[in-house]
Amino acid sequence: MKRIRPGLRVLGRCRTALDGLIVTYTLKRSVRAKHVRFEVRPEDGLTVVIPRSFRADQVPYLLEQKGRWVMEKLSQIARPAPDNQKDGRRRLAYLGRRLEVVRSPGIASRNRVKLQKGKLLVHLREDSRLDDVLVIWLRGEAQTFLTRKSREFGDRMGLAFSKLIIRGQKTRWASCSPRGNISFNWKLMMAPEPVIEYVVIHELAHLREMNHTSSFWRIVAEHCPHWRDYRKWLRDHGSELAFP
């Protein structure tokens, strides 16, 4: 169990927009800190530690000033983890985080996966395979998460899709049809959130420009200024987003 240092209190998980993308961070208050401190770790993601007298509502402004540094650091740590580590524990990459897969003891009446304190607790029926259940869970998460993101960015961009489909494509991450249907690969759920948001913005932009001309990339850049970094991340690490 992770211990909180004396004089350090967790205020909660917060979200803010950086360069048009949503970044989640843990906010902590320290009675000993004299200055605001930013920490980026593979197991925790972004953490902001503020002094006792610092106003929590000022944190988004500081993050905006440090936006480039924060996004670079998050990109550096957000590499998909292999299924198994040297300690023999099963791991699954989820939104760029490394989650330990813990199988609940005994036989369950139905399959269920629960995200709990940085772990995936899996209840498994006797006739089910763990990999199959995890894939079903990831696909369900993809449907919910990508639908929400597509609507959120669609509203910002003034664009609306007709239908959203989750697939398991072997050669592409997403696509957009002339009819306004967008498809996403469920394996995107293993990538960092800013990378997923770039893919969403990319496909929504195709609703206006069904090409990759300069006009198309201007739309993408308007809503995702660092799109080149995220496209490069997919090129460098996309092959690692494989499961089972």
Domain borders along the chain are 8-77, 91-240
Torsion angle of the four alpha carbons 72, 16, 93, 36, in this order, in degrees rounded to the nearest 10 = 60
Q: Rounded to whole angstroms, how far apart are CA atoms 111 and 125?
A: 6
Where is 144: in which H helix or E strand? helix 130-157
In order along its 244 residues, the chain shows pLDDT tens digits of 344 455 788 898 888 887 667 788 899 999 888 899 998 876 677 899 999 999 999 999 999 888 888 877 777 666 554 444 444 578 899 998 889 999 888 788 889 999 988 899 999 888 889 999 999 999 999 999 999 999 999 999 999 999 999 998 877 899 999 999 999 999 999 999 999 999 999 999 999 999 999 999 999 999 999 999 999 999 888 888 887 6
Question: What are residue 100's DSSP bridge partners?
Answer: 91, 119
The dotted CATH code for 91-240 is 3.30.2010.10
Q: Are 202 and 174 in contact (CB under 8 A)?
A: yes
Taking alpha carbons only, the member of 199, 76, 73 closest to residue 145 is 199
